[in-house]
Structure 1
Amino acid sequence: MTKQYNWAILGCGKIARKFAEDLKLLPNAKLYAVASRSLDRAHEFAVQLGFEKAYGSYIELVEDPNVDVVYIATPHSHHHEHALLSLTYKKAVLCEKAFAINAREAREMIDCAKENNTFLMEAFWTRFQPGFLKAMEILESGELGELKMVRSDFAFNAEKNADLRLYNPDLGGGSLLDIGIYPVFATIMTLGKPSSIKTLPQFGFTNCEESIIMSFKYDNGAMASLVSSFASHSSIQSEYWCEKGYLRLNRRWFANAQICIWRQGMEHEEAVEVAPIEGKGYQFEAAHVMKCLDEGKIESDMMTFEITLNIMNTLDRVRADAGIVYPKHDLPSAN
């Protein structure tokens, strides 16, 4: 008989709501508890989404012995604190990206998971999307030859409001950790960590990085050109240029996007069939977490600690080159 897991959500924002809706698609996931610093907000969220319990503090949630898994959906400036709290109470953790503010925090979170023998994974939902998995399968097959260039973007025209998280430096604001992490992920998953990084940042009215262009170079000659921005809209695509052709993940590539391929000698691109999915796609990472728990793992074999640390180390290097600083957090290492 399949074990059912009691899920708890720490933080009641937009991403928490989307995640909760998709949890309903999984028969072995029970919507059990939510927590916010405001009990009224937690109660409203619980009633609307169908959770059994609502807590007005995070400590109350992790002290609940019936909680099996905590999904951390607070701003990334607080992921380190909330992951350590949950792991200390032996709660399995799925932590939204950016996993932390810097690699130092990420390492401490991973060390805590190991010390407590408790599961921890970064909630990088793209890693589990059927379209992305199909694209990786095609690239890894070698049918397009060696990968030489990654080009990826993610931009939208955000509300210019200093009170919101996106433009609040104390909450890790700026496009890099919010959406720039996606193009970085697209590159890390195919080319790995770059040997050199150059950036061109543009800072906004709160001194947060508003837009950034990132150029990566690799020892084997491969390169990447990545962009994120809150100042304008973009096509939101990822392209992989190879020796014998190219592959493109179309608009909203980070979700279950359509794939197009062109091979040398073809007159036109061809579309690769990607089956439509139910919900928004957050259920795939949640299902994977429960599979790992069924198997007694504390680390995912798909979204490993190494992948998360590679992403966080690369983001640290980008920040160091661009001069991006979060005043309430330690400056990141450029190593």
Structure 2
Amino acid sequence: MPTPTPKSTPTPLTHDGPVRWGILGAGVIAGSAGADLRDTPDNTVHAVGARDLDRARALADTLGAPVAYGSYAELVADPDVDVVYVATTHGQHHEHALLAVEAGKPVLVEKAFTLTERQAREVVDAAGARGVFCMEAMWTRLHPLVRRAREIVAAGTIGEVVSVTADHGWAFDYDPAHRLFDLAAGGSALLDLGVYAATFPWLFLGAPDDVVATGRRSPTGSDATVAMLWSYADGRYANVSCTVEAFSPCEATVVGTGGWLTFRRPLFRPTSLLVHVGSPRDGVEEELTAPVEGNGYRPQFAEVARCLRAGLVESPLVPHADTVAIMGLMDRARLAVGARFPADD
């Protein structure tokens, strides 16, 4: 049996200035999240790296970053970059996360973390071995209403949770070259939309005992619609669905023995939380809201900065074990509908 690679202890970030970020990628997500990163206290965008230097320079100028690189390797080698944000397409996350980790850089990897559970485990194991921080950019887990809902459930306000329903659907015109349908880019309804829907039952029910899935594929072979039933030995269950073929309510409901919670659309960045305690006829309802600044990404960047200052290798709010396990559930569902990546082999 091979000897396990010893894990190293991360060194807390100690310099007095803001946390200096390098963004890998110059696409839509890099621009949207990068604007929030620029405006998050104790954080600054130091550099942008892309395969096209002109695109990297354009985004760097927009975000006020002083440095732009025409390659990813140059960015992760920059000694003034404290942490790397991987904002490339799904199919590149594994390679680019490892590139940062091998350079000794803490890394925040855009969701979905990787293409497969195996790839996810390789990234978190490599980060642990090098003693560098690593986190999936699952910003929904850090949303103030999601955190408040977990407190409400933990307090027993709606009784014992018995089921969770979550859906995320958006209609996209079919284009074989689009990132949602291109298998080489990691095209997948599950990885792009379903990962959000799967987060809700995981947060309120934990790991299921069994998963069954149905759905259909696009002409390229990517999963276009997927519905999952998560079952638990004690009778609890979750219905999770996603599609790139139709619009859906894009909401989530947590049902307890004494009431329910409903996250109003869009579930990945809920606008309000309906708390219903009691029966449908005579229960008491309260609608909670929380201000979401910018595009909604700021809490995740603040959490990364907090963890780096504390010398943590992972965030307790987005633990590695959850990221890897949810990737495994999506593997099972995706393969059940016959959608395969080359990385599955």
TM-score, shorter chain, exceeding 0.5:
yes
Matched, 1:304 2:319: yes
Deviates more, 1:23-32 or 1:110-119: 23-32
Query: 87, 105, 111: which one pairs with 1:73?
Result: 87
> Gaps (5+ residues) in structure 1?
none
What is the aligned-residue RMSD (CA, Å)?
1.4
Matched, 1:92 2:94: no
Query: 65, 82, 95: which one pairs with 1:51?
Result: 65
C-alpha distance in 1, partners of 2:199/2:33? 20
**CA displacement 1:37-84 (0-9 Å, x = unmatched):** 111111111112211111000001011111101000011111111011
Matches within 5 A, 1:287-326: 287-326=302-341
Give TM-score, length-normalised by structure 2: 0.92
Matches within 5 A, 1:11-160: 11-160=25-174
Give TM-score, length-normalised by structure 1: 0.95
Identity score, percent: 36
Partner of 1:241: 255
Q: Decide whether the 8 Å contact of 1:188 with 1:310 is kept in 2.
A: no
C-alpha distance in 1, partners of 2:315/2:131? 13
> Which amino acid is the alignment partner of residue 270 of structure 1?
E
Deviation at 1:255, TM superposition (A): 0.9
Partner of 1:272: 287
Query: 178, 198, 209: which one pairs with 1:184?
Result: 198
Matched, 1:195 2:204: no
| Runs of 4+ deviating beyond 6 Å | none
Partner of 1:215: 229
C-alpha distance in 1, partners of 2:56/2:26? 7
Q: Decide whether the 8 Å contact of 1:103 with 1:313 is kept in 2.
A: yes
Q: Decide whether the 8 Å contact of 2:18 with 2:44 is kept in 1.
A: yes
Q: How many residues align?
A: 330
Q: Decide whether the 8 Å contact of 2:216 with 2:337 is kept in 1.
A: no
C-alpha distance in 2, partners of 1:125/1:106? 18
C-alpha distance in 2, partners of 1:224/1:94? 29
> Which amino acid is the alignment partner of residue 306 of structure 1?
A
Query: 266, 273, 283: which one pairs with 2:298?
Result: 283
> Gaps (5+ residues) in structure 2?
1-14
Matched, 1:167 2:181: yes
Query: 263, 267, 273: which one pairs with 1:259?
Result: 273
